[in-house]
Amino acid sequence: MPLYTVEGVVLRTREYGERDRLVTLLDREGVRRTVLAKGVRRPKSSLAAGVQPYTHSRFLLWKGRSLDGVSQVQVLEALTGLRASLEALAAAAYVAELAEAFTQEGAASPGVFPVVLAVLRRLDAAPADGRVHALWLRHAELRLLDLAGLGMQLDACQGCGRPLAAEAAPTAAAGDPRPLPGAGRPAAYSAEAGGVLCERCAPERPAALPLDPATWQVLRRVRRLTPTLAARLRPGDTVLARAAEVVQTHLVYHLGRPFRSHGFLAILEEARWSSGAPR
């Protein structure tokens, strides 16, 4: 039986028969694979640790007629911090759901794996910081959209084409371009238009979501910064919530479906806010 090796992150598992599991993993080339882990539900299975959801592992796989299977597995990163809080676990589940949405079974999606693994590593290192989680999730969403050719248009008005600039100078991150002469002020986001509208053009699309300059700046910065640098931003709760709403609207419009795990994340966030806990 032919064998081959892949390195990947486990996105999810599901029961298969009485003793086995089907494992969905994302390999380094961005190929989504569904493989069979035989006997993994037995108490002393040698495969169990390496096929836990969100684990980064190296797999020795055997080639099957209709389904490949796991012969051996080596854990590279257990990422156990993801299970240290419900918020971190829910965020990891959302990252995995995003990864599935932006990949295909058996086909490469270059660039997806590094984004997914980087965000999972950050969540693992800071499992209880809901504010930072939100920034990392926006980073993952925006980068995956860009890789798929569905990126949000944030630099120019999608109505008139004018460059966009906030009225105030940037304060949270270095390197932003200075406002250009004749630049428009961001005022709304339109899924249909694919991006941001200036104050002049926003009234022409009444279904567009309001978008203030602070949220616009956060989206631009989170998109281009690494997860580590994105964590240094300090937006308020209202800006974080609006950024999540805008990006989720863009995702649903272009992918055609909502994300179940994102709905659960929103419930957790609302509960934290209502209880007065820091977000």
User: What are the beta bridge partners of residue 35?
Assistant: 23
Mean pLDDT lowest among 100-109, 160-169, 229-238, 260-269? 160-169
pLDDT, tens digit (0-9, with 9 covering 90-100), for 78-105: 999 999 999 999 999 999 999 999 999 9
The pTM score is: 0.89
Would you say residue 223 has pLDDT above 90?
A: yes
Residues sharing a CB contact under 8 Å with residue 65, sequence separation 6 or more, in sequence order: none
Higher pLDDT, residue 251 or 237: 251
Average pLDDT over residues 113-124: 97
What is the average pLDDT score of the chain?
90
DSSP code for 153: B
Name the superfamily (CATH) of residues 3-77.
Answer: Nucleic acid-binding proteins (2.40.50.140)
Secondary structure (DSSP) of 122-150: HHHH-TT-HHHHHHHHHHHHHHHHHHTT-
State what percent of residues in the chain have pLDDT above 90: 80
CA distances from 147 to 115, 131, 150, 151 (A): 10, 25, 8, 8
Would you say residue 279 has pLDDT above 70?
A: no
* CATH 2.40.50.140 domain span(s) along the chain: 3-77
Average pLDDT over residues 134-155: 97
Q: Cα–Cα distance between 74 and 64 in angstroms, integer?
A: 21
